[in-house]
Amino acid sequence: MTDSAGKHVFVSYVREDSAQVDQLCAVLEASRIPYWRDRTSLGPGDAWKAKIRDAIREGSLVFLACFSENSRAKLKSHMNEELTLAVEEYRKMPPGRTWLIPVRFDEGDVPEWDLGAGRVLSDLNYVDLFGSAIAPQAASLVTTIHGVMGEKQLGAAQTLEAVEHAVAVDRIEVVKRLTKEMLLDPPRRIQLDDLVGQEVQRVLLAITDSVRVEGPLEGSGEDRVVQVAESALELWTLVAPFCASLQVAARWASAEALAPWAMAIKSFVESANKSAAGVTALVEQRHLPGMVSAMTAGLACVANGKWDNLRVLLTEPTVKDRYQPARLPLLEVSDPYTPFGSAELVPHALAHSGVDGLGLRDALVEFTEKKKGKYYTPVAEWLHHALRPLFIDQLPQQDAYDAEFDRAEVMLGLLSTDLVLTRLSVATNDRMFGRSRWFGRSMWRSKNNYGNPIDDFSQELATQGEMWAPLRAGLFGGSQDRALAAIDKYRADFTEWSRSMW
């Protein structure tokens, strides 16, 4: 979409970078941002110098100065003329105005053009449109330009779709970056809600898709296991961008601002809990998005001590149960084992494939031919591997990530145990029962002296009493007695489950 008559983004570059500029303009086009580029905006017979001068001085909403090895190598270029005009205009503008934006097509430095008042061009924040950064940086650029455009602005969800249409997008990184940019900017919360809602709908469409679970699975037993594992990876691919956004929100949002993410997790769990006809393994697998989201929220909150956020995201929501009239706590319905209840080999194949970089079939064969022993906790091993990239900024050291993963597992186990005990304490039906199923890597790791989070939490409670941070945030109903009862019961169940593994 070019618009030389109206306001536009002026793109300044050298001809050798035409391919990168084509991609940049495709992003602008898809985002409904009018741009001015010499190749498409100049017609036969135009007085091109005058046209360029007018396009910069009279019509530019934003001036994009694109730098690369090619531009730096030129002693003379028309780009330098354009940039000279742009600097003259920028000097007339009030401090802090966003107009001149450097764009890098490689790792080279932004030239230090004199902007006046002691400023140089390299002082301005630049955009990197190369390598793995291109998608999130392109989304950030589009968002910035939309802010300058005002009433013409696209929402974050539309921005993501536009960038994804124009370039090869790492959707996870784009969603994460957009969440970071908008989370603490109140005027953009509606856009952020739309972005989260878009990701939620993508997942819900898969959970509620009857064709997806109807089967039949084909081939040998090994073939069927691989098909179920591939289906699980498809669900993970769909929910991963939401989890990336959730990881940011759980750490940095206030508890009051978490409604979009809390409602999303609840909708995943509740939708998966509805009856459906089809292949049992695929029907059960619908619980995977809710379980993965719950673990993401738990790990992000526990590692950052965001106990209020943990309460809002995971302990307050309840879901309708298909087997009894009363609503059940979310953490009692969702757990690591439900998505793979009748597919014992699938989580082993997923974990081995992910951890050791094998194809699913090759990973499965190593188990079936007994070349490799099975994991003690295969779901947790896969989950630990799958979530690692989402937490690399929060927990860059592997040892810290491992330890916090254990703590999150155990805290979710303690909280779900408390919710079960609380429900049973008021039950009038003698047949009511239940216990936590949030057990994982921490079982074998505690046995091998990697630390015992149950003991750690128990010691914290004994030392701090009612001042223990989870209690002050309203977890365990704010009751020291409830927390102690949950620890005692979960410890007993933890020990029982651990013994069954050896």
8 A C-beta contact, residue 294 and residue 241:
no
Percent of the chain with pLDDT over 90: 64
**Mean pLDDT of all residues in 85-91:** 91
Condensed to tens digits (0 to 9), the pLDDT of residues 193-232 reads: 988 999 999 999 999 999 999 989 999 999 999 999 999 9
DSSP-assigned states of every residue in 6-38 = S-EEEEE--GGGHHHHHHHHHHHHHTT--EE-H
pLDDT of residue 431: 45
pLDDT of residue 372: 81
- Written as six digits, the tokens of 285 are 């697998």
Compute the distance between CA of residue 310 and CA of residue 258 in angstroms, rounded to an integer.
Answer: 10
Condensed to tens digits (0 to 9), the pLDDT of residues 98-108 reads: 999 999 999 99
Give the residue extent of every domain in the chain.
8-166, 171-501
Its CATH architecture, for the domain 8-166, is 3-Layer(aba) Sandwich (3.40)
pTM assigned to the model: 0.79
Q: What is the 3-state secondary structure (H, E, C) of 106-161?
A: CCCCCCCCEEECCEEHHHCCCEECCHHHHHHHHHHHHHHHHHHHHHHCCCHHHHHH
Compute the distance between CA of residue 245 and CA of residue 293 in angstroms, rounded to an integer.
Answer: 10
Please report, as a single letter, which amino acid is at residue 6: G
345-379 b/e (C-beta count within 10 Å ≥ 16 → b): bbbbbbbbbbeeebebeebbbbbeeeeeeebbbbb
Instruction: Phi first, then psi: give them for residue 36, nearest 5 degrees.
Output: -120, 120
Compute the distance between CA of residue 172 and CA of residue 234 in angstroms, rounded to an integer.
Answer: 14
β strands within 323-394, DSSP E:
327-329
Condensed to tens digits (0 to 9), the pLDDT of residues 351-368 reads: 999 999 999 999 999 888
Compute the distance between CA of residue 360 and CA of residue 114 in angstroms, rounded to an integer.
Answer: 56
Q: Can you say whether residue 35 is alpha, beta or left, with left for phi > 0 and alpha for psi between -120 and 50 degrees?
A: beta
pLDDT of residue 5: 43
Condensed to tens digits (0 to 9), the pLDDT of residues 470-480 reads: 999 999 999 99
Percent of the chain with pLDDT over 70: 92
- Written as six digits, the tokens of 226 are 């691989």
Instruction: Decide if pLDDT at 446 tops 60.
Output: yes
Instruction: Decide if pLDDT at 405 tops 70.
Output: yes
pLDDT of residue 152: 53
- Written as six digits, the tokens of 432 are 């009511």
In terms of Cβ atoms closer than 10 Å to its own Cβ (0-12, 13-18, 19+), residue 407 is buried
The DSSP secondary-structure symbol of 2 reads B
Q: What is the 3-state secondary structure (H, E, C) of 379-412?
A: HHHHHHHHHHHHHCCCCCCHHHHHHHHHHHHHHH
pLDDT of residue 270: 95
What residues contact residue 266 under an 8 Å CB cut-off, 6+ apart?
317, 319, 330
In terms of Cβ atoms closer than 10 Å to its own Cβ (0-12, 13-18, 19+), residue 148 is middle
pLDDT of residue 268: 98
What residues contact residue 133 under an 8 Å CB cut-off, 6+ apart?
none
Would you place residue 13 in the very low, low, confident or very high pLDDT band (cuts 50, 70, 90)? very high
> How many residues comprise the chain?
502
Instruction: Decide if pLDDT at 500 tops 80.
Output: no
pLDDT of residue 236: 97
Condensed to tens digits (0 to 9), the pLDDT of residues 134-180 reads: 877 888 898 888 888 875 556 667 777 777 666 656 788 888 988 99
Would you place residue 3 in the very low, low, confident or very high pLDDT band (cuts 50, 70, 90)? very low
**What is the rounded (10 degree) CA torsion for 330, 335, 340, 345?**
170
Instruction: Decide if pLDDT at 112 tops 80.
Output: yes
- Written as six digits, the tokens of 341 are 């209840």
Would you place residue 31 in the very low, low, confident or very high pLDDT band (cuts 50, 70, 90)? confident
Placement of tokens 């006046």 in the chain: 116
Condensed to tens digits (0 to 9), the pLDDT of residues 222-267 reads: 999 999 999 999 999 999 999 999 999 999 999 999 999 999 999 9
Compute the distance between CA of residue 472 and CA of residue 477 in angstroms, rounded to an integer.
Answer: 9
pLDDT of residue 40: 57
Instruction: Decide if pLDDT at 54 tops 60.
Output: yes
8 A C-beta contact, residue 229 and residue 350:
yes
